[in-house]
Amino acid sequence: MKRRGFLKLSAGAGIATGIGAGALIIGRAQATATGGQPLPLPPVLDLDAGGGALIEARAGRHAFYEGGAKGATLGYSLDYLGPVLRARRGTSARITLGNRHSDPITSHWHGLHVPGHLDGGPQSFVTPGGTLEQELEIDQPAGTYWYHTHTHHQTAEQAYMGLASFFLIEDPDAPDPGLPSELGVDDLPLAIQDKSFTRNGEIQYSSGGMAMMNGVKGEGIVVNGALRPVATVPGGLVRLRLLNGSNARIYHLFFEDGRGFHQVASEGGLLMAPVALNRLTLAPGERAEIVVDFAKGATRLLSANDNNAMMGGMMGGFMSSVMGGDDPDYVRGAEGFEILSFQIDPDRKPARTTLPRSFAGAPSGDLPEPVTRRRISLEMMGGMMGGGGGMMGGMMGGGGGDAAGPFSINGRPFDPNRIDVEARLNTTELWEIVTDGMAHPFHVHGTSFKVLSVDGQTKDFATTGFKDTVLVQQRAEILVPFNRPAGRDAPFMFHCHILEHEDNGMMGQMTVA
Ligand code: C2O
Ligand code: CU
Ligand code: CU
């Protein structure tokens, strides 16, 4: 068991500074030179091909930038990340998950409406050398979903090392939405992650003290495993399937030349109509599909930086500055930092030049009346102020216990032997999510929900669509339908998607029967 003391925390901050110095070399290179290599796209694996698919978690070696040294990574059948899995609604996807890594792993199908025993949560781990056969009935709207490891206490580090990728669902029976859809050409899945590296190219994952409190943020931005890549696109409409696959960093995305774009889908599939935007906030776990018009020429996708808001809300800049803060120079710039850049291929004729006005096949927001109202409180401050086994108690006293990190939900840190919520199958519940003032992306397994309000603002289903992860700074209300069963042996999780918070106790378990 890890001992957490206050001394350990300062030592951790010192180490973090050391890492910062090494990683800054990459940061500077990023800020000046072009990112370099072309945008990679993991191979696409069609799951309805008949025989089923085998994906194996394994160790790999991968260079994140051109000319860079290879460092140790993890992937599903790849050195880093995993294949883009693609399934069609109405079919069943047979997947064998193997584990050639030295620790237990899982593959959680984030956003998929599958029963608890197929959900890939912490209970469904695969031991080294083992395999797990699964058959997933695909019955939900077309959309951009994803998969990632969910091992008890190890999700954050394993995902940071690479155990994640896309899970795309298509619906052949739904009306054609008229969107760019040639994967790798005008339809680009973009897994956005941040990572720190040592001088010799090794991924640096450091989760002590403040890093655990704020979540681990890296200094380099990688897209599909490449540091600041360049995507070559046709000079027309291009669909970007954005996934925030970072452990903790929140992005506020915009284009360098200020051009507007349209959001066409959120986590649960198509919106009813395209929504015009200039900026899009994407928290860990969230996805959004946007359509950008490259008839306007090349540009860069940037993110504004206000990640300090997370700490700011809690105790001002004081702790951040004392502890060294969370953000390196590279991402502190006022104008924002680069995610990736685009260049136009003049020889490729765009397949789409106009956007439809609406999407006939979009899921309707109709849900039955809620049968229960529940309050879900995401906490780190409760323990911090109250002492005991909480945040400061844990740091100062070295206590905290094995399962109990400093984080909790409704006063109780995650316990794999406790069921926190018992929901009834085929009902809907109204959940009120409240926080301690720090922004937490709240996620529920096995369903997609409707967001009613966030931080005092009423949300319109037409602009949000169905979601499975929602960023809550203070308080949100969501309507959650329960249409897939989950028993006590493999309950659904609900948790904060800052993975260090999840691993350290901000997670609960739910049965649906
Ligand atoms: Cu994306 Cu419980 O996870
Ligand atoms: Cu999930
Ligand atoms: Cu959190």
pLDDT the model gives residue 416:
97
Closest atom of ligand 1 to CA, residue 445: 2
Task: Quote the CA–CA distance of 82 and 171 in Å, as a whole number.
Answer: 22
Kindly tell me if the per-residue pLDDT of 363 is higher than 50: yes
Confidence of residue 313 (pLDDT cuts 50, 70, 90): very low
The answer to whether 428 touches 466, Cβ cutoff 8 Å, is: no
Residues surrounding ion ligand 2 at CB below 5 Å: 110, 445
Name the burial class of residue 150, with classes exposed (0-12), middle (13-18) and buried (19+) by CB atoms within 10 angstroms of its CB. Answer: buried
Note the pLDDT of residue 402. 44
Ligand 1 and 148: CB distance under 6 A:
yes
pLDDT band at 122 (very low <50, low <70, confident <90, very high): very high
Confidence of residue 333 (pLDDT cuts 50, 70, 90): low
Put the strands of the sheet holding 475-482 in their side by side order: 408-409, 372-379, 427-435, 475-482, 450-454, 457-458
Beta bridge partners of 98: 56, 131
The larger pLDDT score, comparing residue 263 to residue 335, is at 263
pLDDT class for 331, splitting at 50, 70, 90?
low
Pick from 336, 266, 327, 277: which is nearest to 301 by CA?
336
Q: What is the mean pLDDT of residues 82-99?
A: 97
Any long-range contacts for 351-355 (C-beta under 8 Å, 24+ apart)?
351/180, 351/182, 351/186, 351/234, 351/236, 351/237, 352/178, 352/179, 352/180, 352/186, 352/236, 352/237, 353/236, 353/237, 353/295, 354/237, 355/178, 355/179, 355/237, 355/262, 355/264, 355/274, 355/291
* Closest ligand 1 atom to Cα of 146: 1
Please give the distance, rounded to the nearest whole angstrom, from the Cα atom of residue 491 to the centre of ligand 1.
Answer: 13
Residue 33's pLDDT is 40
> What tokens were used for 352?
């789409």
pLDDT of 310 reads: 40
Over range 428-448, report the average pLDDT: 96
Least confident of 51-60, 150-159, 393-402, 412-421: 393-402
Across the range 322-347, mean pLDDT stands at: 69
DSSP assigned state of 218? -
**Alpha-carbon span 46 to 138, nearest angstrom:** 13
CB distance 108 to ligand 1 below 6 Å? yes
Q: What is the pLDDT of residue 320?
A: 36
Q: Is the pLDDT confidence value at 66 over 50?
A: yes
Helix (H) or strand (E) holding 161: helix 155-161
Give the least confident one: 5-9, 214-218, 315-319, 338-342: 5-9
Taking 3-state DSSP, the helix, strand and coil percentages for the chain, each rounded to the nearest 5, stand at 20, 40, 45
Q: Which of 508, 506, 500 is nearest to 248 (CA)?
A: 500
Q: What percent of the chain is modeled with pLDDT above 70?
A: 82
pLDDT at residue 396 tops 80? no
pLDDT > 90 fraction of the chain, expressed in percent and rounded = 76
Cβ atoms of 455 and 472 within 8 Å: the answer is yes
- What's the mean per-residue pLDDT of the chain? 86
Question: How many angstroms separate the alpha carbon of residue 447 from the centre of ligand 2?
Answer: 9
Nearest to 395 by CA among 403, 409, 384: 384
Q: Among 4-18, 63-77, 337-351, name the one with the lowest average pLDDT.
A: 4-18
Q: Which atom of ligand 1 is closest in space to residue 493's alpha carbon?
A: 2
Q: Is the pLDDT of residue 26 over 90?
A: no
Which residue lies with its CA nearest to atom 3 of ligand 1?
A: 110
- 495 Cβ inside 6 Å of ligand 1: yes
Q: What is the rounded average pLDDT of the residues 440-461? A: 98
The CA distance from 157 to 110, in Å, is: 17
**pLDDT value at 14 more than 70:** no
Q: Kindly report, residue by residue over 163-195, the tens digit of the pLDDT.
A: 999 999 999 999 999 999 999 999 999 999 999
- Between these two residues, 34 and 152, which has the higher pLDDT value? 152
Residue by residue, DSSP assigns 378-437 as EESHHHHHH-TTSHHHHHHHS---SS--S-EETTB---TT---EEEPTTEEEEEEEEESS
**321 within 8 A of 294, measured Cβ to Cβ:** no
Ligand 2 mean position, distance from CA 75 (Å): 18
> In the prediction, which pLDDT does 306 show?
62
- What is the structure's pLDDT at 226? 96
